Structure 1
Amino acid sequence: MRPASRERAQGLVAIAILAMALGAGRSALSAWGPRYGGELRIALADATTRTEPSAPRGLAERILAGLVDETLLAVDEEGRARPALAQSWASAADGREWTLRLAPATFHDGTPVGSADAVRGLRRFLRSESVAAVHLARALDGGDEYRRGHTDALAGLSALDDARLVLRFRVPSAVPLAPLASPAAAIVSARGAGAGPFVPTTPPSARGVSATAFGRHVRGRPFLDVVRLITTGATDRGRPDGGGADVTSGPPALTPATGLLLLILDPAAPPLAEGRARALIAASVDRAQLARHFLPGGEPADVLLAPTLLAPLPVSAARGAASPTPVPGRLLLRVASDVPQSASQRVVAHLAALGLEVKAVAVPAALATTTAGPARLLVWYPEVAEAGLALEELATLAGAGPPVRLALEAADSVRDFDRRRAELQRIEETLRGTHVLVPLARLPLPLGAR
């Protein structure tokens, strides 16, 4: 194979692996072709220093979690559970009790993966900041009390033997096991070693992290030998080859579109307190033009969830107001570091055309969802690629009130697929109708092979 072809193939390998980490599904692997050995270097805009499983706060954390960690279960494109560290599962008591059987697997430190590790990992997960953890705690028998720290007893989780664990739920639900696919629910050994396809050989730092193939991974050894995540701050920014990286965070990006370019407006902040002002802002952005000219491989987005997660109700495409009604005032816009600069500048231009005096301030992608501000522009990836959990995550971002949260809880108890989908569609429409969450475009995995 010619060097250029080999580099291109390595880039496709990386993108396929990272698509899996972001929930794109197994189809990504077949779509991007075969994998090849050797070393792969991936340049990213932000560093990550995460050392234990947590809800990913940016692309770098998601990629690292997908490389070094493994969860009990994964979910497919339709939110259905598929094997990971757990090879099978069975329900009893009309769906209120689920028994998971672990596959023979090994942690990076050589110790076997056992049910005690799984129970310990899930207990940690239940007290984490993950939205999926909140969902699981609410559903498990005794989960809420345990999460709040009122007790260490947890009747809803126990180990039957070395290879089996049981989860007991208060009531049956539609997708009881989906929260186990959260990266924050990854299982680690007593010494903190992961069980993912790659073993970190250097601790995460501002310069990046290196990892080698794990020969005893539960799904077999990866064909790549080494993966290095390099922050652009640790490379030569002036070099056109991304500082020697095989794959870079930027164009040309490859499909499928997995992230959502999302504008979040705080209704408590002037001039956004009036729903009319937020609606005008939402209508001012020409999404088709934004995607076509400023987001290579992007698609205009008029709804919050990708059609692969939730088929949308009919919605009129937002094309941008021809003669926008003025929205005067000053607006501080916090822009996540992984938002393409040209796209953020275009959004600012649309807001300025309304009469807003916009001050854009860059923030690290890892802080974009938690940093307060009147307006935020970020790329959002669902923690778990399942419609109900994704809407719960969006409701948290929006600060949605009790009616939305109660509707989500009610939908979770609906086990008929068509009825549940209809309820989730109505919830998505309600969330979007407040114009607190303004979907702009769907972005492909922002990595391009060089």
Structure 2
Amino acid sequence: MGTKQLFFKLRDKTRFMWARSKFGYIPNGDVAKFDFNELEHVVILKLDGKLGDTQVMTHFYSQLRSLTNAAGRKLFLSAVCPKNLKHIYKDILGFDCVIESSRKPKEKEIELICEQIIQAAVDAGYSDKIDLVLSTEPNYRPRDFIFNHCLKPKYVAGCDKRLSDNLVARAASQAALSGGIDEQVARKATEISFLLYDVDAYDKRVSQAFCEFMQLGKLEPSLVSYKPLFTEEELEHAQNYLACESKKTQDSLIVGVNPSGAAKIRSFTPELTAAIISKIISSSDKTRALLLCHRGMSDYIDKVIASLGELKDLVGTRIVLMPKESTPCDLAALISCCDGQIGVDTATVHIACATSVRQLCFYHNVTTNSLQWAPLGEGDTAEVLRFSDANFNTIEPNLILNPTAEFMNKLLATQND
């Protein structure tokens, strides 16, 4: 580990210990009696702004949205998220209260957000009590401790195994309390009522972890499906854009290409992306390619175009760029209009799953991580290739291009059937 990495690790550990000491909160709900049907108010913390995570959890959100408790009241759902996800949680997923937050809110901002959440519930005729706070980030941050401290929920669910993991740990800690062991020591394992999944060991899809959580809360299991993250208006806009930009006709075929993951090493070089586009274009005179890079990546896009050679003259017709102003919902709508998609492990993989778009996905085989975030349709609508090399920039190009050519042949054959 380098000096820089060591510094950040020590810094994060120090911040974690400080926040835990100052804002540590122990939820008092009995996990053995946990029942989603008896909850009234659930708060989702999604401050990392990740679109793919939100897409994967739409099955869980839809189940919560449909709940009505014994008193005939619908579950009140609140979400805290950055600006890029606000429209999704409010208008598409139908949350009752959606509060916009900065990515790294300080104590005062968090206190204000919590006040707004509680007031919104009271104004809607609910109590000022929070039943469950759920955070899906793998590591608890100071902000998570502060949210729990302010909201004081009955239950807390999260993914940081340093705080708690299961009913057994809670029962053991309660037994320890009865035996007179120091309260703070005994309760260290109960700061999270439910560990959603162990990010280092869970070997199934994250969507399955939420199904298991729902079953733990007395809900009947159902087949996992993702809710598309766009409105009818956004879909119509995407259809019109593609019809105009790519001259898409009834017998044409358009394939989305997303070469960029969250980490730079999980992204294709501009030259390789251009070669993928070339494979798509050369596979048939009916094919189009949609480059799924937002216009903020202008330098990368320019390099891709420069690497296309003579094909660069097709930009704007058979090679289509994203609209200059695109929201996450616009992206989702455009992907739904595609006949296929080729790309790396990132949000667009899960977005394509929501509308069963056939895809070829390239993953870094990081043990359980590639299983947790595997596409929902793997083996059916999604073909996944996993590489032991973490750096996609160093992978032999033909290991990407040959499967691309095969995928295009399958896609064309499917369309002709």
**Higher relative contact order structure (alpha carbons within 8 Å, sequence separation ≥ 6):** 1
Tell me if both proteins adopt one fold, taking TM over 0.5 as the criterion. Answer: no
Larger Rg over CA atoms: 2
Q: Which has the higher strand share?
A: 1
TM-score (norm 1): 0.29
Q: TM-score, normalised by structure 2?
A: 0.31
